[in-house]
Amino acid sequence: MAYLFAFCRLLTGIVFLMSAVSKLRGRAAYEEFTAATRALVRLPSRPVAALVVAAEIAVAPLLAWRPTVLAGFCVALGLLVAFTAAIVVALRRGRRVSCRCFGASAVPVGAGHLARNAVLIVAAAAGAVQAGAGGVQAGAGAVFAGLGPAGLAAVALAAGAVAVLLSAIGEIAGLFTSSSRRR
């Protein structure tokens, strides 16, 4: 279970860190995210966008520090549920809103984004359950106690690879959607 718990922590932290950095990499990127937020929610988009980015930034450090791991998973779950609800609402209303989760994607939100969020919700929920059951209590020393250097490296590599794949899932799904429309 230590490997699964570490994988969930790393995957969730990496994804939210990537997402926040992509929004803050420049003024244009942040403005594009704010515009996408405006199209998805009926609340003032600037404060909502700032709150989303602040929460995304908070996830990784919360997951890294043992006493706040459960809080980190809870923040991640809250964001993921809100993102998923916004995507569902946009799809039901027929809105073609570009996903600005990981940068300047031109692919409108769709099934691929819902699948990505489902995977991340499962990872964050599994991590939260493990944290709530005392998974963070194991080992008094290191943050990822019980894994050893090789185990930690393997888990980190796997989490990083899955995070990169998930960050591109909208574009990947868009490729299949685009090619199926041409036929």
HEC assignment per residue over the chain: CHHHHHHHHHHHHHHHHHHHHHHHCCHHHHHHHHHHHHHHCCCCHHHHHHHHHHHHHHHHHHHHCHHHHHHHHHHHHHHHHHHHHHHHHHHHCCCCCECCCCCCCCCECCHHHHHHHHHHHHHHHHHHHHHHCCCCCCCCCCCCCCCHHHHHHHHHHHHHHHHHHHHCHHHHHHHHHHHHHHC
Task: Tell me the average pLDDT across 43-64.
Answer: 91
Which residues constitute the domain of residue 25? 2-182
Total domains, the chain: 1
Give residue 104's pLDDT band: very low, low, confident or very high (50, 70, 90): low
Say if pTM beats, i.e. exceeds, 0.75: yes
Q: How does pLDDT run across 52-61, given as a tens digit for each residue?
A: 999 999 999 9
pLDDT at 46 over 80: yes
